[in-house]
Amino acid sequence: MPTYKAPVDDVKFLLNELLDVEQLCKLPGYEEATPDLINTIVEEGGRFCEEVLAPLNQVGDSVGCTYENGVVTTPPGFKAAYKQFCEGGWPALACATEYGGQGLPAMVRTVLEEFMCASNQSFGMYPGLTHGAYHALDEYGSDELKATYMEKLVSGQWSGTMCLTEAHAGTDLGIITTKAVPAGDGAYHVTGQKIFISAGEHDLTENIVHLVLAKLPDAPPGTKGISLFIVPKFLPTEDGKPGTKNGVTCGSIEHKMGIKGSATCVLNFDNAKGFLVGDAHKGMRAMFVMMNGARLAVGIQGLGLADVAYQNAVAYAKERLQGRALTGAKNPAGPADPIIEHPAVRTGLMKMKALNEGMRALAIWIGIAIDVEQKHPDPDVRAAHLDLVALMTPVIKAFMTDIGHENTNIAMQTLGGHGYVREYGMEQFVRDARIGQIYEGTNAVQAMDLVGRKMPEGMGRLLRRFFHPVNELIEQSMADAEMKEFAEPLQMAFGRLQQVTQLVASKAMGNPDEAGAAAEDYLAIMGYVAVGYMWLRMIKLSREKLAAGGNGKATFYETKVITGRYYMTKVLPQVHAHAARIAAGSAPVMALAADAF
């Protein structure tokens, strides 16, 4: 059975030493979010995930959710764990105090999401969807809707979903057919079918609040005609309790490759009573609040699974005895040496470690940027951080889930045949990780968002929010003789990123296929450079700490420098292969006639 240990020490290093988490308690509304309080929450959140959620992960996979006559039952232990989760106040962590939340920074939830996804991704889906519904209602819901639903969502007493996809309409939401007809009393009758609805039906909460995309009778065509409605499973009574059953039922649940403890449902809406969220025909604006948050959360899922897979691969590699080390026996008293002594095994372990720690730093950096964007008193500072978050949202979603899938596969390979069987749990991590590249907009869609929307926005304004600090750090580091070895690879990779940015922008103006053919490679380059930027920051800080004596953590800082060197020399050069693919253009992609496939 796999085990999990929350990376609390690494998170504390990032928060307290690298990224200055103390800046958050200086923001209006976050005065009580001191580093000491945040550290305590990180520790307790890690403990909860280790002790309560992780032991349920394999049973969630082996038993899964069951469906009978429209009723979905979650795996054994999930309901009790969810009760503990709510009693501990975890759903309310980063929610506004006016709704009963704790009013803590969004960054704290970023950390908790990694721990939850690493320990039990299926479980984490339920509160994750609810938090997304909370955000959409907080920004666009009427006072009446907020009074009815927000406290219940914040406490976890009720849960939420996002209902977008239809059988014929996935990415192309403009062609959805779900209808909403005015009921004459301010409400609407919603009719249609939605598929792939995570947490659409379950037994964890007494009510489920669905946020549903639908079209009014006078809707203009395409996405400009989409409205957003709140459709509860049970219509709330005047005293805030679940009342009459609404016209929404679960028609079935999907039988999936992974995340089997999360119910993925077909939902049928039959004249279900719904209530408009925001303005008519402006539903996509409100739904994107949920979608963008979900995309960042899915990226964190990739990180969490990559890390738990790495932890178990390391444990196995230290214990598994096979062959002798190439440089001589390291375990002369035994029949063979641990496989961690073999370069082929170490290559995989080092790659996982370097990517995981770099991605964690990137995720928390952007998590803090979200809080600054929301709370800083200076509108120019808020705008700058909003641009950075917008740029990095598709990168975090796609890059981290691509790497999550890659790293779980490396971990499984480390265990050899034992990785392929269920007992060791590694094959579950691979299966669970695969969905991250698909849902909340496939990674190809994220790449097109980056190249087609984010790259040209404001004549490159979003790119400059990232390029400028990267360039500044590289210049500072190149001027330091002892940092030059680490800065040079990033300088070359960053230069390549700048080159392909200009190349893609110029070629795509004449032929849009050039942007489409380059998009996924461009996003990968952006991801590798962003992680490289975080590593250069971590290396610089670790070297400074070592020069000052290490403060009792010399081994930790030395390990950071060694791991960072591996990233710069062994991982970051992949940028140049991606750049070569972009330079080859769209012709090799589009040359073959469709009927020749």
Amino acid at 84: Q
Of 303, 148, 176, which Cα lies nearest the Cα of 232?
Answer: 148
51 is catalytic: no
Residue with tokens 């050899």: 416
Lookup: tokens for 284: 């996509």
Per the CB < 8 A criterion, the answer to whether 7 and 117 are in contact is: no
192 backbone φψ class: left, alpha, beta (φ>0; ψ -120 to 50): left
Using one digit for the tens of pLDDT, what is the confidence trace for 137-183?
999 999 999 999 999 999 999 999 999 999 999 888 999 999 999 99
The answer to whether residues 110 and 149 belong to one domain is no
Q: What is the CATH number of the domain that holds 202?
A: 2.40.110.20
CB atoms within 10 A of CB 151: 18
Boundary residue ending a domain (117, 140, 163): 140
The answer to whether residues 130 and 171 belong to one domain is no
CA dist., res. 20 & res. 424, Å (int): 38
Using one digit for the tens of pLDDT, what is the confidence trace for 197-220?
999 999 999 999 999 999 999 999
Segment 12-28 mean pLDDT: 97
Per the CB < 8 A criterion, the answer to whether 216 and 178 are in contact is: no
The answer to whether residues 84 and 151 belong to one domain is no
In a domain, 442, yes or no: no
CA dist., res. 408 & res. 348, Å (int): 10
CA dist., res. 576 & res. 572, Å (int): 8
Q: What is the CATH number of the domain that holds 19?
A: 1.10.540.10
Amino acid at 429: F
In a domain, 595, yes or no: no
The answer to whether residues 39 and 56 belong to one domain is yes
The answer to whether residues 190 and 217 belong to one domain is yes
In a domain, 569, yes or no: yes
Please state the pTM of the whole predicted model: 0.97
| Largest pairwise CA distance in the chain | 83
The answer to whether residues 238 and 149 belong to one domain is yes
Q: What pLDDT, on a 0 to 100 scale, did the predictor assign at position 317?
A: 98
* Distances, alpha carbon 308 to alpha carbons 411, 426, 428, in Å: 9, 9, 11
In a domain, 378, yes or no: no
Boundary residue ending a domain (240, 258, 282): 282
Of 129, 248, 265, 256, which Cα lies nearest the Cα of 196?
Answer: 265
Using one digit for the tens of pLDDT, what is the confidence trace for 270-325?
999 999 999 999 999 888 888 889 999 999 999 999 999 999 999 999 999 999 99
In a domain, 437, yes or no: no
State the catalytic residue, choosing from 201, 440, 514, 520.
Answer: 440
Q: What pLDDT, on a 0 to 100 scale, did the predictor assign at position 471?
A: 98
CA dist., res. 167 & res. 144, Å (int): 33
Segment 445-465 mean pLDDT: 97
The answer to whether residues 117 and 28 belong to one domain is yes
The answer to whether residues 132 and 231 belong to one domain is no
Lookup: tokens for 176: 């959805």
The answer to whether residues 131 and 183 belong to one domain is no
CA dist., res. 425 & res. 421, Å (int): 7
* Distances, alpha carbon 550 to alpha carbons 12, 76, 207, 542, in Å: 16, 46, 52, 8
69 backbone φψ class: left, alpha, beta (φ>0; ψ -120 to 50): left
3-state secondary structure at position 473? helix
The answer to whether residues 182 and 103 belong to one domain is no
SS3 of 492-545: the string is HHHHHHHHHHHHHHHHHHHCHHHHHHHHHHHHHHHHHHHHHHHHHHHHHHHHHH
Per the CB < 8 A criterion, the answer to whether 154 and 102 are in contact is: no
Boundary residue ending a domain (96, 113, 140): 140
CA dist., res. 202 & res. 531, Å (int): 38
Range of the domain at 70: 8-140
The answer to whether residues 496 and 550 belong to one domain is yes
Determine how β-strand 158-163 pairs with β-strand 207-215.
parallel
Q: What pLDDT, on a 0 to 100 scale, did the predictor assign at position 287?
A: 84
In a domain, 32, yes or no: yes
Per the CB < 8 A criterion, the answer to whether 259 and 122 are in contact is: yes
In a domain, 334, yes or no: no
Using one digit for the tens of pLDDT, what is the confidence trace for 240-270?
999 999 999 999 999 999 999 999 999 999 9
Count of structural domains within the chain: 3
Per the CB < 8 A criterion, the answer to whether 290 and 132 are in contact is: yes
How many alpha carbons lie under 13 Å from residue 146 in its C-beta half-sphere?
15
The answer to whether residues 259 and 153 belong to one domain is yes
In a domain, 391, yes or no: no
Q: Binning pLDDT at 50, 70 and 90, where does residue 374 land?
A: very high
